[in-house]
Amino acid sequence: MILLLVFFALFIYFVLNYDADLTTLIYEKYGKDLNGFYKDKVVWITGASSGIGKAVAIEAAKNGAKVVISARRKNLLEEVRDVCVSSGCPDENILVLPLDVCDSTALEPAFQKVLQTFGCINVLLLNAGRSQRARWEHTDIQVDKDMFELNVFSVINLSRIVLKNMLEKKSGHIAVMSSVAGKLGAPLSGSYSGSKHAIQGYFESLRNEKVGSGVNITMLCPGPVVSGALQVAATEEPSTPYGQSMTDADKRMTAERCATLSLVAIANSLPESWICFKPVLPFMYAFQYMPSVAKWLSQKFMSSKSMEKMRGSKNTMATEKNE
């Protein structure tokens, strides 16, 4: 009994004081050396012009990877390339590959360009996506369709193209930037949460289908991270971005820390990694292992106002709007 109490005390201390699940942190300390793993590996990152994608590209380049960076805005990609080069990465090891991942006709040519440049793809990090702040009942159905087009269907389309090549080689790694919203239902982000739950289902199915194929799947589930995501986040109406910047008061992980932990999870072939700290990490464990209790507690003690505050709401979700 005493040992059990000690275990629970240590566990509670852990979830309240660390910034990722226990497995990820163990591998960060005792797992593969990032420079040894990524040196000369070809890593293709979508959504690489800002935020987590940009940070992963820079960190991968620092560790010797040959990096392909894709997003719609070429000028921002070139800025990322310059940072990679200034950090010691040879210019020839960076491929700037502008790409709108929602344009299905552009995906195969982009894939062929990567093969022509580097000969293979060792790691595909599917990071492009969009967040959301909106009330569930007031969200226009077109918002849901647009969200799934970017967060789900574009991810599936590109991964299927690359997967065929990896299966032929019997080697490769697909990493998907999901979210804690792919494990929990994030309030005021119904379309976004739905898209991330869908991604979890698609790739868990793929993992189970391709056991022994030589292709690894890693689901990355970050919590709040410092980025420009709120500026372009979807709202209740199509083509109406949230337009709010994050503040210094927001409790968010740095993109650089999230990038490091993401690369650790990929290098060590972790099937899933939770990258977040309190209060999100305790929620993740509670909802994973005690779902009924956790849901009862959240309904009992969390108000709609506290949820709005947690999600950083503003007039987009004001109670008087559209009612």
Q: Which residues are catalytic?
A: 192
Query: At residue 69, what is the residue type?
Result: I
In angstroms, rounded to a whole number, what is the distance separating the alpha carbons of residues 128 and 177?
8
Contact 141, 194 (CB under 8 A): no
Tokens of 257: 């820390």
Residue showing tokens 């647009």? 146
Residue-level length of the chain: 323
Write the DSSP assignment of 199-256 as a string of letters: HHHHHHHHHHHTTTSSEEEEEEEE-SBSSSHHHH-B-SSTT--------TTS--B-HH
Angle ∠(268,270,271) on CA atoms, nearest 5: 155
- Report which secondary-structure segment, H or E, holds 312: none
Tokens of 182: 């792919």
In angstroms, rounded to a whole number, what is the distance separating the alpha carbons of residues 245 and 265?
29
The candidate with the shortest Cα–Cα distance to 172, out of 42, 264, 273, is 42
Beta pairing partners, 176 = 126, 219
Tokens of 251: 């409790």
Beta pairing partners, 273 = 220
In angstroms, rounded to a whole number, what is the distance separating the alpha carbons of residues 143 and 287?
27
In angstroms, rounded to a whole number, what is the distance separating the alpha carbons of residues 225 and 159?
25
